[in-house]
Structure 1
Amino acid sequence: MIRWIAVRTAAVWLALGLVLAGAAAQAQSVQVTVNGTQITDQQINARAQLLRIEGRGSSNSNRTQMATDELIDDAIKLAEAERVGIAVTDAQVDQAYGNIASNMNVSVSNLNQVLTQNGVDPNTLRSRLRAAIAWQQVVRQVISPRVQISELELDIQAEQQLEETSSFDYILKEVIFVIADGSGMSASRRTAEANQYRSGFQGCGGAVEQVLQYQDAAVIDIGRRHATQMPEAIANELAGLTVGQLTRPRVTENGVSMYAICEKAEARDLTFIKQDLRQEAGQDALEQQAEAYLERLRNEAAIIRR
């Protein structure tokens, strides 16, 4: 009798287990297969929830479609990374996840809590980060070496951007009236002192001796700078000044600052303009080639939607 009860009990638990397993399979039904990698409705719903708390997507159906497309791309990116021998470690994912928390000025545990409270498993974000890191490495290893930038085109663009105010080379000194934390010194008072200094300025030779008359003020040798290395507003002002003059006082994070012109010469230097253009052009070309590469992988992938 006892044995019969035990057998019957075991049968009941087995049947219950099969029912629960069937329910779990139904709850996580496969919606898409990408090169053999399965994407379930649970993954799609979780990614859609992440999109919702990020403020992306115009409706639930829109977010579901966006989530599906993202997960398909993630599967493609991870597969390509594996094909070229790239493996993303848990430590890399942890660092990227921690960087997000840091940018939000919260701890990792607080970020976990924020996600969980909004119905998002933190692993959903970690999965996205893993694919992003993998693709970043694919782009760096496979695509970046293919990007070519035309130096002639950069020269032409740099010439077009070079303005009259950007055609000077300087030797500069910075005169700064410091506003120390907790000093109680106001920016308006320091600006007034800077203007007083400026009105009596007689050139770079006497800059240091003159600044000694003021408390918490200093002269810093900046050295040679081309106009293209300076912020546009300062470059424009410097262009209108002559040797021995100071720019007007500007409030900065360190205090009140002025620039003194010790030497000034006309110089059409395209170096720094070209550096910026090269970086912009290279980034644009890299993004275009990366998207074209991903599009080719999409077209070649075996994607089955159910």
Structure 2
Amino acid sequence: MNNKEAIMTFRTARAVHIFAFSALIMLMGTVSYAQQTPNQTAERIMAVVNDDIITTSEFSERVHMVMETSNLPKNPEVARQIGPQILDAMVDEKLQLQEAKRLGLDVSDAEVNDGLKQIATKNKMELPDFAQMLKKEGISAYTLAQQVKAQIAWTKVIQQRIRPRIDITDSDIDARIKRLQDLAGKDEYLIAEIFLPFDEEQSEDDIRGLAQNLYDQLVSGKAGFPMLAQQFSKGAGADQGGVIGWVQEGQVAATIEAALKQAEAGNLLAPIETDLGYHIVYLRDKREIEYDPETTNMLVLRAEIGNDIGNERLDSRARRYLRDLRSTAFIEYRA
């Protein structure tokens, strides 16, 4: 099996698992799960986030969900490796929900149900079948509901606070076109990425081990790239399944660029270490940059470039917004 087949492709990876972590909730109909709570037995506090808490049962249920939907090896060592990423993600969700509340942005059960219906349709499943799959895998509806609610809330925050402030000038587009002219004849790469940064909470060995585990699952075909990226990546495009888009010379780390030059379209690159962390890169496509002002439809090109710049800035500013929320929040890890 080659790498392209092993990744199961972006379009045909086992659909249930591609979307399982990021959007599967409340599949028992239109019942509200907002009032349900996880098992309160022997409850302890894992983390305090301003006026909210994350409990041990919430954390354990999330770990279970991640391991089920990502098909990672179910052993204590892997659970230990992924624990810090999961707890950080749960802290981010608390901050996202708090910011939405501060701005008066609510997420209704109806909105979540509508989103679920769309996802079930994309996965060619009816809601009852979806619900049965969740039940079989022991995935908590409450855990999923909280995650999806945070995602919807954060989208609303971005739409209100960031998108109106994205400004793209003619000079921005002209500079990007000039770059295309300079790079004409060289290769560019359509990539997706899972980025695991170095941090103070985890040893480098743990991050390397997690990167290798994720890579192994992708190569074996047991998990899809988009789902793992949504779950684990801390890089640009994580919410879109790790998709970065087309990159050219000088836009990625030298070690990544060197590996891309040797790879073929459809290849999954083994974890690459940079100064920032580990990168698992999927080379979706590769082509020679072509630019001929005599034959290029400039109106179309300028529109495409403007859209690319806008998406890049939106993603960058959304991540900066979340970092700012973290820097001003009271966050205490207790267990």
Task: Give TM-score, length-normalised by structure 1.
Answer: 0.55
**What are the equivalent positions in structure 2 for 1:28-39 lying under 5 Å apart?**
28-39=43-54
Q: CA deviation at 1:63?
A: 2.8
CA distance in 2, matches of 1:50, 1:36: 25
Say whether residues 1:127 and 2:146 are aligned partners: yes
> Which blocks of at least 5 consecutive residues in structure 2 are unaligned?
1-38, 185-286
**What are the equivalent positions in structure 2 for 1:134-149 lying under 5 Å apart?**
134-149=153-168
Q: The residue matched to 1:27 in structure 2 has which SS?
A: coil
CA distance in 2, matches of 1:156, 1:54: 42
**What are the equivalent positions in structure 2 for 1:148-167 lying under 5 Å apart?**
148-158=167-177, 161=180
Tell me the residue number matched to 2:106.
Answer: 87
CA distance in 1, matches of 2:97, 2:317: 18
Say whether residues 1:103 and 2:122 are aligned partners: yes
CA distance in 1, matches of 2:67, 2:119: 17
Tell me the residue number matched to 1:273.
Answer: 301
The superposition leaves residues 224-273 of structure 1 with CA deviations (integer Å, 9 ceiling, x where unpaired) of xxxxxxxxx9xx9xx9xxxxxxxxxxxxxxxxxxxxxxxxxx66641110
Tell me the residue number matched to 2:332.
Answer: 304
Tell me the residue number matched to 1:116.
Answer: 135
Tell me the residue number matched to 2:69.
Answer: 54
Q: Which amino acid in structure 1 is aligned with residue 318 of structure 2?
A: A
Q: The residue matched to 1:54 in structure 2 has which SS?
A: helix
Share of identical aligned residues, percent?
A: 25
Q: CA deviation at 1:56?
A: 7.2
Tell me the residue number matched to 2:57.
Answer: 42
Change beyond 3 A, Cα 1:124–1:300: same
CA distance in 1, matches of 2:295, 2:114: 45
Say whether residues 1:70 and 2:98 are aligned partners: no
Contact 1:57 1:63 in 2 (8 A): no
The superposition leaves residues 1-56 of structure 1 with CA deviations (integer Å, 9 ceiling, x where unpaired) of xxxxxxxxxxxxxxxxxxxxxxx755222211111111111111111122112317
Contact 1:33 1:39 in 2 (8 A): yes
Q: CA deviation at 1:153?
A: 2.6
The superposition leaves residues 106-127 of structure 1 with CA deviations (integer Å, 9 ceiling, x where unpaired) of 1222222212211211222121
Rg larger in structure: 1
CA distance in 2, matches of 1:124, 1:297: 23
> Which blocks of at least 5 consecutive residues in structure 1 are unaligned?
1-23, 165-232, 240-265
Q: Which amino acid in structure 2 is aligned with residue 302 of structure 1?
A: F
Q: The residue matched to 1:290 in structure 2 has which SS?
A: helix
Q: The residue matched to 1:39 in structure 2 has which SS?
A: strand
CA distance in 1, matches of 2:138, 2:82: 15
Contact 2:40 2:57 in 1 (8 A): no
User: Of 306, 312, 321, which residue of structure 2 is paired with 1:293?
Assistant: 321
CA distance in 2, matches of 1:111, 1:268: 46
CA distance in 2, matches of 1:289, 1:160: 23
Contact 1:149 1:278 in 2 (8 A): yes
Q: CA deviation at 1:100?
A: 2.4
Task: Give TM-score, length-normalised by structure 2.
Answer: 0.51
Q: Which has the higher contact order (CA 8 A, sep 6+)?
A: 2
Contact 1:48 1:67 in 2 (8 A): yes
User: What is the root-mean-square deviation of aligned Cα atoms in Å?
Assistant: 2.8
Say whether residues 1:283 and 2:311 are aligned partners: yes
CA distance in 2, matches of 1:135, 1:268: 38
The superposition leaves residues 66-95 of structure 1 with CA deviations (integer Å, 9 ceiling, x where unpaired) of 221111111100000011110011111111
Change beyond 3 A, Cα 1:100–1:33: same
Contact 1:47 1:67 in 2 (8 A): yes
Q: The residue matched to 1:33 in structure 2 has which SS?
A: strand
Contact 2:97 2:150 in 1 (8 A): yes
Q: Aligned residue pairs: how many?
A: 187
CA distance in 1, matches of 2:118, 2:81: 28
Q: Which amino acid in structure 2 is aligned with residue 82 of structure 1?
A: K
**What are the equivalent positions in structure 2 for 1:140-289 lying under 5 Å apart?**
140-158=159-177, 161=180, 269-289=297-317
